Amino acid sequence: MYNIALHLTTDPMYFHSGSTPQSSYDVRPRRPSLGSVASEGGIRYAAEAGPMSELMPDFLTEEATIRRVLARLKREAGRPSDQLLYVGVHNLSQFWWCAMYSVLKSRDREWQFFRAVLIDAWRYGSVLSKFKQIPRSAARLLEILSTIRQREVEKRWMAPEGSPDIPWSLLPGLTLRDLIDPLDDDHAADPSSEHAESYPTYRWHFQRGGYILVGVPDGLSEHFVYEFKSAASDSMFRKVARPVGRTQADVYGLMYHRPDKRLQVYVRDGGALETLHEPVDKERVKETLRKFRSVDKTGNAMPPQPWKCRKCEYASICTVRPAA
Ligand code: SF4
């Protein structure tokens, strides 16, 4: 029987929060390495396929299959299939933009976060030699994930020589962005922007507040998580980028065991780069999760200011949208 908890590692570091990581590594700023994946003129597939790439389980490319497996996993764990389990950190943090938007978007994208976890099982498991036979099911991938410790991923992916080659290259139907980060669709906040600082990073997930949170910070140093965003104006910086970015960085601080967070927001109108460097706020994470969970369970949320609804992609299904 599948077990959702199967892949939740018992690594003590995994559940511990706020401590300095045990591994030390080169923290000189540098661009996140994508292993062997080439990137010229935007996102594209790897230039060359490693021997493992052809063996990638093709069920990972099919949305309907992923959704079906996820629903079955929840059912077998006694969890209603319409209750969220896998939640993207960016989507969670958007609670501070609109509570209902945060939940509706999380529901819409849940299958992608589940897939991200399965893909991580594959790529980390491949590089760390956690399996000999090709995994051909989600259950097997989750089993493999349960044997992978965050600290060993961190050690390998944060190594001074850069990230290892990743056997993920030829997945039809997926973009490189899907594979690396289907989570933060704040396209304007490109962490490779000339305004952003550059640090290594890797994707991980952790269990908190009844959810499995999945995310990848824009960077990691030994003592802080780094998050980069951009905002159209000073007003949008204050109303959106700062509260959402702060929360996102706080969650990453817990997930990645860093005591501090560093948020930078490039304000396009005026060209200012706002920098916020402060301790990770665990209380903000708790509060966000508690409120998010309440909206997820009850479907009730405080409506935001009406201007926020003007271009909302979920307006047609939203039950709390204020009258214009
Ligand atoms: S329509 Fe408005 S209230 Fe509803 S999810 Fe969108 S932004 Fe939030």
Residue having the nearest C-alpha atom to atom 1 of ligand 1: 315
| 68-95 tens-digit pLDDT | 889 988 888 788 888 899 999 999 999 9
| Mean pLDDT lowest among 27-36, 190-199, 281-290 | 27-36
Ligand 1 atom nearest the C-alpha of 313 is 6
Cβ–ligand 1 contact at 302 (below 6 Å): no
pTM of the model: 0.80
Distance 175 CA to ligand 1 centre (A): 28
> How does residue 187 score in pLDDT terms, banded at 50, 70 and 90?
very low
Pair 279, 263: CB distance under 8 Å? no
Q: Higher-confidence residue: 271 or 246?
A: 246
| 289-324 tens-digit pLDDT | 999 999 999 999 999 999 999 999 999 999 999 876
- Does the pLDDT of residue 173 top 90, yes or no? no
Ligand 1 atom nearest the C-alpha of 303 is 3
